[in-house]
Structures are given as C-alpha cells and as structure tokens.
Amino acid sequence: MQAGLEVQQSFEIDSTCCKTQRNNFQHEVSERDISKKLVFDEKECDVMLATYPCTKYSTAADISGTRTGDDLFLHFFRHIAIKKPEVYVVENVPGMKKFPVVMEAMTKLPEYYVSVFCPVYTHKFLPQKRDRLILIGSKKHFAWREPEVSRKVSLKEILEKDVSIKIPNYVYKRLDGSYRDKPIISDPEAGDIAPTCVAHYAKDRGTRLVKDKSFPRGVRPYTTLEYARLQGVPDWFQFHGTESQVYKQIGNGVPTVFGLWIGKELKRYFK
C-alpha cells in the first residue's frame, strides 16, 4: 500500500492476526483456512502473494506442538494454477530451494517467466540478520530489479530509551548456562545487528538479548516496539493481542522493506 497499490483481500487463519490487520488496513481480511477455500470464489486480481510456513525449510524453526503447514505451498499453487493472475510472488527462507518438489511447483508453470532472488539480505536495510527467498512469476518477461539500499538503520537507532521491563527468571538461567544454548547478545555500541526475529521469542525471550547498562546484568530482552522496528514496522502500526501474541506476529512477519520493494517493482511492471 505504501508503494501505491490497492490490496483487495487477504487470508489468515489466526484470529488475532486478522484483528491486527483490520486495526491497520481497510481491505477485506478473511479469517479462513486457505486449504478449504475454493479458487473460483475469489475476486479477480492482477497479483497473488503468499508466504507460507517455513518450518520444514528453516533450520531455526521451533515446530514442537505446532501445525507445520507443510502442504500450504500446494494450496497456493492450486490458486495460481487455476486463477492464473498476471503476477504471483512467494516469500520464504532460502532453505526452500533445497526442496525440489516445492521449487518445481513454483517455477515450472508453463505460462510464467520466473525470477528467484536468493538470498535477499535484510541486514542491508535493517539491523537484523534475516536472509530470505523472493520468487516472482509473471506472464511477460520482465527485468525485475534487486532492492536498492538507500539507508541502513542501525541497532542503536531502533532501541527505546529508559526501558522498563520485567525480565523473566529463565532469562538469567539461560545466561548462567542452565540451557543448552547461550543467548545471542548484540551490542549496539559495537555496531552489532540482531539475529533473526523468530516467532518463538514469545515463549523464550532469553534467546536474543541486547546490551543495556541500565539493567543489573547489563543485558535485556527486546521490547515489542524494538522487535517490530527490527522488521521495519512503523511505530504507528497497532498490534492486537497479548505481549506474547505480538512477539509471535512480528517474528512471523516479512520485513516491510521487502514489501515496499516488491510493490514498487509491480508498479513498474504494470506501467
């Protein structure tokens, strides 16, 4: 939308995520399972975009007790194969390239020219290590441009001042070695960047910490506002749900710089 495009509708199975979308956007937000949705019920559109669960493709995913959604790529494939939009876009982790069946489905539709950008580095724009795969299929051959870096935001810039948060005891236990993995600690004064924002930060905020001298051990978890800023989310954006639900939504999100890049390229394509 910031790129000047009109979003007709979006589909989301999580009710909290739907409420967040409705808090911030005007388009139709449909709370439903895409695997149970008929393609011919959809409105006409020029572009279809999808980002499906990367639990099968990501080395860092926490899949215990969760629905993996491994089959959802097939349902997106079903939608583009039947509806045949002018353009379709897929966002996922680079590990998706290791799965031939998934890549075949997304790159071998006979009517489409496909470009794959991988890896696309978030750290060129934002203070977060988050490598991504962006796949674009179009009916016309087109020279899609890579994202341009205008200005990189530093970790120091996104941190709040005078932070007041309660640190769970398990954070200190992780610092003291009670867990298998020590926390990843980023120092804004040293020019560090944060590791990948993950959805399970909602369950364990001890995995990723930032240095802050105002706290007893000199480190603390990221606030929800800082976590959102790591993804490029503007401060006016309003999340719905509990603190844990907000962390989860942010970790599952796509950096806004990628959305803006793709949006601008789509405008150029349709000129």
Q: What is the pLDDT of residues 126-176, one digit of tens each?
A: 999 999 999 999 999 999 999 998 889 999 999 999 999 999 999 999 999
Taking the mean position of all CA atoms in its chain, how far away is CA 103?
Answer: 20
Average pLDDT, the chain: 93
Read off the pLDDT of each residue in 107-113 and give the average, rounded to a whole number: 97
SS3 content of the chain, % helix, strand, coil (to 5): 35, 15, 50
Q: What was the pLDDT predicted at 66? A: 43
Look at 73-77, 147-151, 240-244 and tell me which has the smallest mean pLDDT.
147-151
- Split at pLDDT 50, 70, 90, the class of 1 is low
Entry pTM:
0.92
Domains delineated in the chain? 9-150+255-269 (3.40.50.150), 155-230 (no CATH)
Q: Is 203 exposed, middle or buried (0-12, 13-18, 19+ CB in 10 A)?
A: middle
